[in-house]
Amino acid sequence: MPRSTPRPHVLKNSSAFSLLPLMVAYMACTMSMMAFVSLIGPISRALHLETWHAGAAVTVSGVIWMLLARPWGRASDRFGRRRVLLLGTAGFTLAYWALCLFIDLSLQMLPSIAVAFTGLMLGRGLIGAFYAAIPVGGFALIADNVEPQHRARAMATLGAANAVGLVVGPAVAALLARYSLSLPFYAMAVLPLLAFLVLRFKLPRQELHLRQAPTRVRLSDPRLHRPMVVAFIAMLCVSIAQITVSFYALDRLHMSPADAAQTAGVALAMVGVALICSQLVVRRLEWPPLRMIRYGALLSAVGYAGSMLVDSAWGLWLAFFVSAAGMGGIFPSFSALAANAVEASEQGATAGSIGAAQGFGVVIGPLAGSLIYAIEPRLPYLLAAVLLLMVVIWPYPRARS
């Protein structure tokens, strides 16, 4: 795959470009998202839902993300990254508050299974619809302002901020869950509003504008085959682990619902710590994206394989740490690989295509994970390890990126 060079029709301004507003917004929204994920097991049990209900509630968000990522990307090309990011965070805020209120009322009133399931599906669907705009707009904004050889580093910086949310969100959720399963949602509901305000007042109004019309990018574009497949597999593996971790603590480690919620929260917090550490390493190494993907996939496969062998909370935490450390090299690299493969006028659409691939992983992961989990709790982690090993052995293209 040929290496891209700065295009003459787009102005780069990396020296004046600040990632801080994007970092704050990403961290805040991630904290809110992960509070739900870390508590979905105990909440579903309290509402008398089955494991597949929890999987479907998480999956619907991925379906919407997959369907809307490309439209959000095209909208960012047409109307600007700032408008898309503001609309995404504003909608996310309203949707999260609606879900928060529904969960609180459901835990008090214990509605029928059909009502509880439908409410969770609708709430997560709305959240996914608006959340899809945030990574698409953010990565396109980075591609606008950062030179190709430094994009993986910039995306790793944004990923590190996202990882801070992975650490703090589940940790706060686990702490507050001791008092009430609905309390963490009220605490986290303030954060999307904070993200909107930071972007509203800190993100520059004047964006870099292309000197040619935005270009449509087909999903079948051969330039995007590898980054899209890697994005799908990475998000598939992550979502499998997220949806099964609290059930794994309940069933295989034989914990109570409260202890399982805390164990799952700590495990997801360890994921955040590992992502922070690994993406700081990515910033320093600045390896070519393909090389970073290969080594990251190998390390992550080791972590998922280790998850099948654990019989204690600390073992689960260690396995999640190792798997996430590998993912920290994969995520910024497939985004940079895609951005470097296309023209400046295609960046928004390309970011949307990568987002659609990730959304597809979120669609398949929770359902596949919960269904396979019902057969044998260790099978989801075996599947993740095998898929990542396939990424490792995928041959380099003739022209390296």
- Looking at residues 278-300, what average pLDDT do you find? 88
Q: Which among 371, 364, 279, 260 is positioned nearest to 330, based on CA atoms?
A: 279
Instruction: Tell me the C-alpha distance between 280 and 149, whole Å.
Output: 17
Looking at residue 294, what is its pLDDT? 93
Q: Is the pTM of this model over 0.85?
A: no
Numbers of helices and strands, H then E, in the chain: 14, 0
pLDDT band of 130, cuts 50, 70, 90: very high
In this structure, is residue 2 part of a structural domain? no
CATH number of residue 125's parent domain:
1.20.1250.20
- Looking at residues 218-224, what average pLDDT do you find? 77
pLDDT band of 33, cuts 50, 70, 90: confident
In this structure, is residue 189 part of a structural domain? yes
- The residue length of the chain stands at 401
Total count of domains within the chain? 1
In this structure, is residue 214 part of a structural domain? no
- Can you read off the two tokens belonging to residue 270? 């360890």
CB atoms within 10 A of CB 220: 9
> Are residues 369 and 384 in contact, defined by beta-carbon separation less than 8 angstroms?
no
Q: Which among 151, 86, 149, 137 is positioned nearest to 350, based on CA atoms?
A: 137
Q: Which among 300, 314, 321, 325 is positioned nearest to 383, based on CA atoms?
A: 300
Buried (b) or exposed (e) across 316-345, using 16+ Cβ within 10 A?
bbbbbbbbbbbbbbbbbbbbbbbbbbbebb
**Amino acid symbol at 266:** V
Q: Which among 163, 139, 25, 160 is positioned nearest to 89, based on CA atoms?
A: 25
Q: What residue numbers bound the domain in which 197 lies?
A: 21-203+219-393
Instruction: Tell me the C-alpha distance between 96 and 134, whole Å.
Output: 15
Give 167-179 pLDDT, tens digit per residue: 787 778 878 877 7
pLDDT band of 97, cuts 50, 70, 90: very high
pLDDT band of 214, cuts 50, 70, 90: low
Element (H, E) at 128: helix 113-131
Angle value at C-alpha 336, between 66 and 208, nearest 5 degrees: 90
Give 228-243 pLDDT, tens digit per residue: 999 999 989 988 887 7
Using the predicted structure, report yes or no on whether residue 12 has a pLDDT greater than 50: no
Looking at residue 305, what is its pLDDT? 93
In this structure, is residue 301 part of a structural domain? yes
- Looking at residues 378-401, what average pLDDT do you find? 84
Using the predicted structure, report yes or no on whether residue 307 has a pLDDT greater than 70: yes
> Are residues 181 and 46 in contact, defined by beta-carbon separation less than 8 angstroms?
yes
In this structure, is residue 296 part of a structural domain? yes
Give 48-70 pLDDT, tens digit per residue: 887 778 777 777 877 887 888 88
As to burial, measured by CB atoms within 10 angstroms (0-12 exposed, 13-18 middle, 19+ buried), residue 292 is: buried
- Mean pLDDT for all residues in the chain: 82
What distances in angstroms separate CA 393 from CA 44, 233, 354, one per listed residue? 39, 14, 22
In this structure, is residue 3 part of a structural domain? no
Which of 35-39, 135-139, 310-314 is the least confident region?
A: 35-39
Looking at residue 14, what is its pLDDT? 45
Give 315-346 pLDDT, tens digit per residue: 889 999 999 999 988 988 888 888 887 777 67
**Amino acid symbol at 260:** A
Looking at residue 213, what is its pLDDT? 56
Looking at residue 56, what is its pLDDT? 77
In this structure, is residue 284 part of a structural domain? yes
Considering only CA atoms, give the Rg of the chain.
Answer: 20
Give 281-290 pLDDT, tens digit per residue: 888 887 888 9
In this structure, is residue 10 part of a structural domain? no
